[in-house]
A and B are shown apart, each in its own frame.
Chain A
């Protein structure tokens, strides 16, 4: 490479650099790309003007952060309220049954909504990094996922991955004191009951069902879990 400045800039180079400018601005280019841009803009006025303009756009977009800081503060407040309300309910004098101590993890699980979207996402997020192809099944799962804030029953709907054998399914379920009541349906849905003893206190049952849901959701062979409404 001669050390003298090239007076002729190839059109190709200009186009390439022009396309790369936004990522030069956000500092995400790799070293060689960055070098090409840096060198080119020294001699290309068009790119320099564009760079300055996009820099302004970049800065403007970065400023919008302030708005969301406020939202975060309000969310933190909401969270605090939820936890506090939960705590105060423990010392209610007229409460019939005392709740199990809440773990931090459970508080998060309560905080995060078991919504239909969450359920369909749980399905989608797995094949996402490989290649998404089962878009069609989303609707099915959606209809299954009834948003449930309260744990009032001990019946769950569970879908296992295709690879799971009957023995594996039974082993997984026995790990959460569950047994199959119905299923699988044509869509592969099992209805599962979590240990039901008449003398078990309501709060204890509730706790066990929540635990079962959490454990099942963390099991890689389980594609979907939710309460039967």
Chain B
């Protein structure tokens, strides 16, 4: 049975986060710190999964949260706090990693086989090290990773992802469609025994 380990989506959580942003907008540093703690993991995961780089994640988080602190008063409460904050983060990544976050239009319409240009022994032994997901993520484009991450980790609805990525909802579904194929394929070849 599905059990969300996180309460990201609960109404209660959202109200709490909105309150924290409002308090931060009024200069309440304690509230901001709480928000920081609430979002650290989410941002860490989000930034890592999209960039696939460990270095400077914490710097980017602080840059993002700096904007949140500075611009808390401009948050208009209509979208979820997570859509606002992850939107800032996505923009930051796009800004910083323009070369990495290139358009993956070409990749999306290629045959699935093209995702594995060099499926050699290295990849297989890596998979056997029980980190198939890491390997799988490396096979995805940055934008496909972003969609998977926002769906399976951040728990966002596809419409929210579309808002964050500034793209049509169908594009989100298409990116997910191709990502799922890859993930499922690797999963079936290397079933998890945890």
Binding site for B on A (CB under 8 A): 19, 22-23, 25-30, 50, 53-58, 60-65, 68-69, 71-72, 75, 103-105, 107-108, 111-115, 117-118, 120-122, 124-126, 128-129, 132, 138, 217-218, 220
Contacts and interface: CB of A to CB of B under 8 A. Distances in A.
Given A54-B183, A58-B2, A124-B92, 19 more contacts: A27-B2, A28-B158, A53-B187, A57-B133, A57-B187, A61-B152, A62-B5, A64-B133, A65-B5, A72-B40, A72-B41, A75-B58, A115-B63, A117-B63, A118-B67, A121-B64, A121-B91, A129-B76, A138-B95
Interface string B21-40: 00000010110110001001
Interface of B: 2, 4-6, 9, 27, 29-30, 32-33, 37, 40-41, 44-45, 48, 57-60, 62-67, 69-71, 73-74, 76, 79, 84, 87-88, 91-92, 95-96, 133, 148-149, 151-153, 155-158, 160, 166, 173, 176-177, 180, 183-184, 187-188, 192, 194
B111 to A, nearest CB: 19
B35 to A, nearest CB: 11
Given A27-B4, A28-B9, A125 B67 contact: yes
Interface residues of chain A: helix, strand, loop or mixed (majority): helix
Given A115-B59, A118-B66, A64 B192 contact: no
A28 B152 contact: no
A27 B9 contact: yes
Given A71-B44, A220-B73, A117 B153 contact: no
Nearest to B5: A62
A217 B25 CA distance: 12
B75 to A, nearest CB: 8
Contacts of A57: 133, 148, 152, 180, 183-184, 187
A104 B64 contact: no
A111 B62 contact: yes
29 contacts: A23-B158, A25-B152, A50-B184, A53-B184, A54-B180, A54-B184, A56-B187, A56-B192, A57-B152, A60-B192, A61-B149, A61-B152, A62-B152, A62-B153, A65-B41, A68-B40, A68-B41, A69-B41, A112-B69, A113-B62, A114-B66, A118-B66, A121-B67, A128-B91, A129-B74, A132-B91, A132-B166, A220-B73, A220-B74
Contacts of A132: 91, 166
A222 B192 CA distance: 53
